[in-house]
Structure 1
């Protein structure tokens, strides 16, 4: 058991999905800490859901797209920098590849999400200063490099 500053320490477990259509990647613009940033459809794992369920749910809630997961890209560990306004946070991100299935354009998006958009990888890379975290490009770079693992690499044990 790890303790930090006299309390139990636990990282934020998140999921993200790289979704490609016609050479473009599904991204979301969102407001975070007073900035407009870019991210994959991503979010926190909720109690009693699998990593797969969380990834599909977050894609729908943040982009209005139903997706089908096709592969596991990897697990990424990252610590945000502390600021005067907030302490450092520790993230463990599980990233997936997916394909779009159906769009629900009238569906309201999660709070803070401005819009979903499709960007070519070079457009996303050119906007690196707007990435929510370094995890955005790391997962895309792995996807573009062909990194894929079977989904059954991850298992939820009852």
Structure 2
């Protein structure tokens, strides 16, 4: 099986290890052992409360969030696991901007670490728009071990892709 772009940018040795596990059909076992739990945040309301609590803990001075929701339309093939937007609307004679965070719905059934990583990533965009050193330092501050969990998410996406291919056969 060919490894998708989910692991692009990682060292060849790591990609090779994932490829071997994938070919042996052991990615699911690896993920279950490493991330055995599933979170209970299933509604948009619960997701908003979860995200707001993290924001309050780490980003008190960042702009407020008006909406947080799961989104069935985010395309993981284009690396959109979450999305942060500022929607501008005219209300009366004024322009009002609303900050929104959308999380790919596939994370409803994921490990709590994966949901946490995606939310932290999107919250970090409230302070830092670009994926630069400062951005990733902020992610690591809010979630120690951020990079390892991000790698886990990419393995999870690879495994889901593998599962989808088997179902299509």
Larger Rg: 2
Higher strand share: 1
Q: TM-score range by the shorter chain?
A: under 0.3
TM-score (norm 1): 0.27
With normalisation by structure 2, the TM-score equals 0.26
Question: Which structure is higher in RCO with an 8 Å CA cutoff and minimum separation 6?
Answer: 1
Larger proportion of helix? 2
